[in-house]
Amino acid sequence: MLFDTITAISTPIGEGAIGIVRISGPDAFPILSEIFKPIRSSSGILENRKMYYGHIVSDEKIMDEVMVVKLPSSGSYTMEDIVEINCHGGLMPLREILALILTKGARIADKGEFTKRAFLNGRIDLAQAESVMDLISAKTEIGFDIAMHQLKGHLSEKITKYRDILIALMAEIEVSIDYPEEDIEEITYSKIESTLTDLKEHLSVLIEKSKSGKIIREGLKTVIVGKPNVGKSSLMNALLKDSRAIVTEIPGTTRDVIEEYMNISGIPIKLIDTAGIRETEDVVEKIGVQKSKHYFNEADLIIFVLDASEVLTKEDHDLMELVKNKHAIVIINKTDLESKIEMAYINAVLVDKAIIKASVHNDLGIEALENEIKTMVFGNEVDMNHTDIISNTRHIQLVKDAEKNILEALSAVRSGMPYDFIEVDVKNAILNLGHVTGESVEEDLMNTIFSNFCLGK
Amino acid sequence: MVRTFDAGYFECIVIGAGHAGCEAALASARMGVKTLILSINLDSIAMMPCNPSIGGTGKGHLVKEIDALGGEMGLNIDKSFVQSKMLNSSKGPAVHSLRAQADKHQYHTEMKKVLENTNNLYVKQAEVTSLIIEDHMIKGVITSIGSKYTCDVAVLSTGTYLGSTIFIGDAELRSGPNGLSGSYELVDSLNQYEFDLRRFKTGTPARVDKRSLNFDKMEVQWGDQDYELFSFMNDELRLDELPCWLTYTNNVTHEIILSNLDKSGLFTGAIEGTGPRYCPSIETKLQRFTDKPRHQLFIEPEGRDTNEMYVQGMSTSLSEDVQLAFMRSIPGMAQCEIMRPAYAIEYDCINPLMLNLSLELKSVKGLFSAGQFNGTSGYEEAAAQGLIAGINAALKFKGEEPLILDRSEAYIGVLIDDLVTKGTDEPYRMMTSRAEYRLVLRQDNADLRLTQKGYDIGLVKEDRYLRFQKKLEMIDKEYMRIQSVNLKMESLNNALASIESSPVTQGTKLIDILRRPEVFYKHLIAVDETRPNELTKDVIKQIEVSVKYEGYIKKQMQQIEKFKALEEKKLSYNINYNEIESLRLEARQKLMKIKPDSIGQASRISGVSPSDISVLLVYLEQQRRKNK
């Protein structure tokens, strides 16, 4: 069999009532029987092409209520055994089920891979080949996949750092193998062991954090700012109404700052309406302002609202200065009224920002705003940085694989296996971490060997 | 212009008689192809212009593989070595690496004898000054005295002779290695045919007079008592061993070198070629690793009949007076006399991306190339390519498919795939870390991996093949035996106690007790009563390795299976990648240049992404269906 088993979330990203996770390949049926407990099939045997109701179960724990169907290779889309799991919509259940399937040995599908297999296995006709290629090709790399590859910043630095530590370790091992007679102190088992143990700890922490799915629950921190009466609250309500959201008001917050949770095209967002950030002598108001500033500084994204029907005030000017260096979208509200605002000036100061003309009252500009948020998230402009959370299932799996490699290397160390056997798993760990950040081993290793050690005749 | 005249036809012509050329010519002639080998000087056949040793990490693997395929290097070093050592013997079996010190003159003489006594092989002294290429096909060569030889296939292995310049201090000499004349006119001929030439650099340390050294101040270095041989054809040879010596540089040495840097061609800018990172000159080492208080040097004999000693670790392009001064600051070398000064050498070679996996030039049919000409460094790397180039030239002449070893079959496969797929920016040296399937590509099983292939192409002769089959049979039989033999608890525990291995609680299968990392055949002599007498060391080794490391080897075999699936998806040479629009631009350009042989090879090209590979897979299927 040329192909292994692949899986992916097959419904479009967004808040549908249901979502579908699909598995294709030789292990699709065995994986299903491991994770699915039907409610009414006493024998536990599932017939092909019949829908079954039951639970996805992990470690005896019910994860979701689902409907599943088995489609045998003879008539399936990919001409391989396919399983489709219909579960509750929303990213959380889908990702958790996907993650569970991955632990059972499936691999996350590449973009267009189901279709590619359909073609390679003779399901799709020749005329479609070009479009299959385009689908796979880099040209169409937009949308969700890019969002999934969001690894800028902190996390990527960490993974690179761990990988570098492993490469340095491997270089030391390789030097002792390829240059046995050089005047270089040979690496000891205890050093290998302590380096690997440390790294294992670090990776475990990353994996543990990713389980909490913090980003997914808390969402992209988005703060709405603007002077009073500019239309912030109406904007917030309009967005909430539009998003069929999981609206939850956090109790205990003061009226100074309102937090709402919503979801735009599957992007979880924590929307914060602030009291405003102006200079004030009023003690009570001061506390509110300080809080606002705090949120402002922590925000992943700012929505800055201006009133088109008024000339810019000092407060507007102050805010513009603050917003200038943040990821921000500018909303010019009340464009249904006569325009008095200095657009040329705004365009000049906020030159790199998206500026959207809106009339929230008339429901104008809301869609444009939503699209802009999507573009910024998928286009990598907003990185959910300052956090170590791996939110991408594929990356989580790679880090888990690397952790497993390190455990195997450690057990080789402890049973006194020769260096060249220990190295096998160290190398695999480097490969797996490299897949997260998109780097290969060979050149990096050679460079490390020759820059760290003095070798040669 | 010299008058040219017809000097005859040979089916195959090999240009250069270094380590690559010798293997190429022998392989071609032994495969029944009438072969001519040309060398600028017949006294430099198989000359070792640098270190007096064969093998080492990675390189030793290559020599074993050359031998397993029916090449000569292993047999020749077994005839001429003066000391031998298994490097890494304390590490795993995959990285055990054999290295032998050679008597250089004897190595040359023995190889020359073999060439002279091989049927179908004609040995001539001549300098080739131009190639005759018509319609992108090799037709023959012309020598400096006007002899014109025609041929159907040829192997180019010019080593460091091509366009070479020697640097010693500020002296710049138009010369080949070791005082031999270089080859300059040939460069013009290659340029005329638009060869993608580049300039590489290497160097060699001084040779000093043994009588001028004080060995009391050095550490003696002996080889292994129970040494192994390179050739699978040899069981035992008696050896009168010669020692090597170890000493170290010190502060004084370093000061002398650093204060004379302006006298090195390397630092004055005279040398432009790219040198290898793994054989830096002593001046480079001092500059790059300033905190290292001393550097080791090995003093190695150049042979039995000479007082010349090779000073390993002291390669330099400094002037001779500086060389003498810094060497005299080293313990045991206070009175040292130089016999041949160290030098740096620059030479022309090609960008190996010009080659196919068969080592045939993409732009000239029938012309193969090997060795330093292809951008490598080292005798063993050269010999390995020479062997493959010679084999494939002969196969081409016979109209047969080329022999291509892949990365999972041999270090030779790794070497050639690296060269022609990734290219190289410095002289390429083999290292075990370059082989991703290292646990399977061991030096102890090179014959099991390759001898059948050598036999199938007609290079391995009956005597070797019989030995090989007998060994296979013995391994099978022994493997059956250890699975069935049960060792009694009491006597087994006695044997285990003597090596501090934990006791068993019941009778145990021989195979299971051999799985313990600390238990070897030699420990079980007393208990293993049915052990056959004819069991050889080789067979025992194979059994021990495959039993002890079974899990790892299985894992690697699975990886190899995946690797093979992609290697077997062949890409035609004629694909116009520019027409596949879904490929990214960079991928299209790279694929057009390298013309990979398979999807697997394509995936190793830098700049070809996984999505490009997917596009190629779909493209292949599309073509397959169109052709149906």
The model's pTM: 0.79
Interface-testing mutation among A78, A137, A142, A450, with chain B (most B C-beta atoms within 10 A): A137
Does the pLDDT of residue A144 top 60, yes or no?
Answer: no
- Name the least confident of A240-249, B390-399, B422-431: A240-249
Q: Is B438's CB within 8 Å of A445's CB?
A: no
How many Å apart are CA A72 and CA A25, to the nearest integer?
10
Same domain, A437 and A338: no
Q: Is B555's CB within 8 Å of A133's CB?
A: no
Q: Give the structural domain span for A344.
A: 217-378
Same domain, A279 and A353: yes
- DSSP state letter for B421: I
State what percent of residues in chain B have pLDDT above 70.
100
Residue with tokens 């057990």: A411
How many Å apart are CA B443 and CA B228, to the nearest integer?
11
State what percent of residues in chain A have pLDDT above 70.
70
What are the chain B neighbours of A177 within 8 Å (beta carbons)? Answer: 57, 88, 91, 95, 432-433
Q: How would you classify the pairing of strands A267-273 and A220-225?
A: parallel
Does the pLDDT of residue A213 top 50, yes or no?
Answer: no
State what percent of residues in chain A have pLDDT above 90.
23
Q: Is B552's CB within 8 Å of A416's CB?
A: no
How many Å apart are CA B618 and CA B607, to the nearest integer?
19
Q: Which of A245 and A31 is assigned the larger pLDDT?
A: A31
| 3-state SS assignment for residue A21 | strand
Taking the CA of residue A285 and the nearest CA in chain B, the distance in Å comes to 56
Question: How many angstroms from the chain centroid is the CA of residue B126?
Answer: 26
Q: Can you tell me the mean pLDDT for A341-352?
A: 87
Residues 6 or more apart whose Cβ sits within 8 Å of residue A303: A222, A223, A224, A225, A235, A328, A329, A331, A369
Q: Which of A376 and B169 is assigned the larger pLDDT?
A: B169
Q: Is A180's CB within 8 Å of B432's CB?
A: no
Tokens encoding B579: 């027409």
Does some domain include residue A191?
Answer: yes
Q: Is the dihedral of CA A255, A256, A260, A265 positive or negative?
A: positive
**Which of A170, A208, A59, A202 lies closest to A422 in space, CA to CA?**
A170
- Choosing from A378, A413, A428, the residue where a domain stops is A378
Does some domain include residue A101?
Answer: yes
Neighbours of B65 (CB within 10 A): 30
Binned at pLDDT 50, 70 and 90, residue B323 comes out as very high
pLDDT digits (tens, 9 = 90+) for A356-381: 999 988 888 888 888 888 777 655 44
CA distances from B613 to A126, A128, B52 (A): 19, 18, 45
Does the pLDDT of residue B269 top 80, yes or no?
Answer: no
Same domain, A259 and A362: yes
pLDDT digits (tens, 9 = 90+) for A392-423: 566 777 888 999 999 999 999 998 889 989 99
Q: Which of B131 and A107 is assigned the larger pLDDT?
A: B131
Here the CATH number for the domain that contains residue A127 is 3.30.1360.120
Give the pLDDT of residue A40: 79
Q: Residue A38: is it exposed, middle or buried by C-beta count within 10 angstroms (0-12/13-18/19+)?
A: middle
Tell whether A249 is within 8 A of chain B (Cβ): no
Same domain, A410 and A270: no
Does some domain include residue A457?
Answer: no
- Choosing from A109, A141, A173, the residue where a domain stops is A141
Here the CATH number for the domain that contains residue A208 is 1.20.120.430
Does some domain include residue A146?
Answer: no
Q: Is B615's CB within 8 Å of A126's CB?
A: no
Is residue B174 a contact partner of residue B182, using CB atoms and an 8 Å limit?
A: yes
pLDDT digits (tens, 9 = 90+) for A79-90: 899 999 998 876
How many Å apart are CA B268 and CA B251, to the nearest integer?
24
Q: Residue B530: is it exposed, middle or buried by C-beta count within 10 angstroms (0-12/13-18/19+)?
A: exposed
Does some domain include residue A115?
Answer: yes
What are the chain B neighbours of A114 within 8 Å (beta carbons)? Answer: none
Give the pLDDT of residue A145: 37
pLDDT digits (tens, 9 = 90+) for A222-253: 888 888 788 887 888 787 765 433 333 333 33
Taking the CA of residue A409 and the nearest CA in chain B, the distance in Å comes to 11
Q: Residue A358: is it exposed, middle or buried by C-beta count within 10 angstroms (0-12/13-18/19+)?
A: buried
Q: Can you tell me the mean pLDDT for A418-442?
A: 83
- Choosing from A329, A344, A378, the residue where a domain stops is A378
Does some domain include residue A183?
Answer: yes
Same domain, A98 and A158: no
Give the residue on A whose Cα is nearest the Cα of B295: A183
Complex prediction ipTM: 0.84
| Long-range contacts (CB closer than 8 Å, 24 or more residues apart) made by B535-541 | B535/B474, B535/B478, B536/B471, B536/B474, B538/B232, B538/B444, B538/B471, B539/B471, B539/B474, B539/B475, B539/B478, B540/B478, B541/B93, B541/B444
Binned at pLDDT 50, 70 and 90, residue A72 comes out as very high
Q: Which of B58, B92, B277 sits opposite A421 (nearest CB)?
A: B92
Q: Which of A138, A180, A449 sits opposite B88 (nearest CB)?
A: A180
Q: Which domains does chain B have, with CATH numbers?
A: 207-343 (2.40.30.260), 462-549 (1.10.10.1800), 569-627 (1.10.150.570)
Residues 6 or more apart whose Cβ sits within 8 Å of residue B93: A418, B442, B444, B541, B545, B549
Give the pLDDT of residue A29: 94
Q: Can you tell me the mean pLDDT for B71-98?
A: 95
Q: Which of A110, A416, A446 sits opposite B614 (nearest CB)?
A: A110
What are the chain A neighbours of B431 within 8 Å (beta carbons)? Answer: 174, 178
**Which of B578, B581, B582 lies closest to B591 in space, CA to CA?**
B578
Q: Is A424's CB within 8 Å of B95's CB?
A: no
Q: Which of B92, B295, B615 sits opposite A418 (nearest CB)?
A: B92
Angle CA B230–B234–B239, to nearest 5: 75
pLDDT digits (tens, 9 = 90+) for B214-255: 999 999 999 999 899 999 999 888 888 999 999 999 999 999
Give the residue on B whose Cα is nearest the Cα of A119: B618
Per the prediction, chain A carries an average pLDDT of 77
Same domain, A230 and A371: yes
**Within B262-407, where are the H helices?**
265-268, 282-288, 320-327, 379-397
Does some domain include residue A1?
Answer: no
CA distances from B141 to A145, A236, A431, B367 (A): 58, 84, 48, 11
Q: Which of B91, B292, B617 sits opposite A177 (nearest CB)?
A: B91
Same domain, A318 and A275: yes
User: Domain count of chain A?
Assistant: 3
Give the pLDDT of residue A285: 58
Same domain, A124 and A17: yes
Q: Which of A183, A416, A445 sits opposite B296 (nearest CB)?
A: A183
Same domain, A433 and A396: yes
Give the pLDDT of residue A249: 37
pLDDT digits (tens, 9 = 90+) for A262-305: 666 556 677 777 655 555 666 655 666 677 777 788 787 899 99
Does some domain include residue A172?
Answer: yes
Same domain, A110 and A203: no
What are the chain B neighbours of A180 within 8 Å (beta carbons)? Answer: 57, 87-88, 91, 97
Q: Is A138's CB within 8 Å of B611's CB?
A: yes
Beta bridge partners of B248: B296
Q: Can you tell me the mean pLDDT for A335-354?
A: 87
Give the pLDDT of residue A212: 46
- DSSP state letter for B403: -
**Which of B199, B446, B233, B222 lies closest to B346 in space, CA to CA?**
B199
Same domain, A203 and A221: no
Give the residue on A whose Cα is nearest the Cα of B584: A138
Q: Is A456's CB within 8 Å of B621's CB?
A: no
Does the pLDDT of residue A211 top 80, yes or no?
Answer: no
What are the chain A neighbours of B563 within 8 Å (beta carbons)? Answer: none
How many Å apart are CA A423 and CA B455, to the nearest integer?
35
Per the prediction, chain B carries an average pLDDT of 94
| 3-state SS assignment for residue B215 | helix
Same domain, A205 and A221: no
Taking the CA of residue B584 and the nearest CA in chain A, the distance in Å comes to 7
Give the pLDDT of residue A451: 67
Angle CA B572–B605–B390, to nearest 5: 65
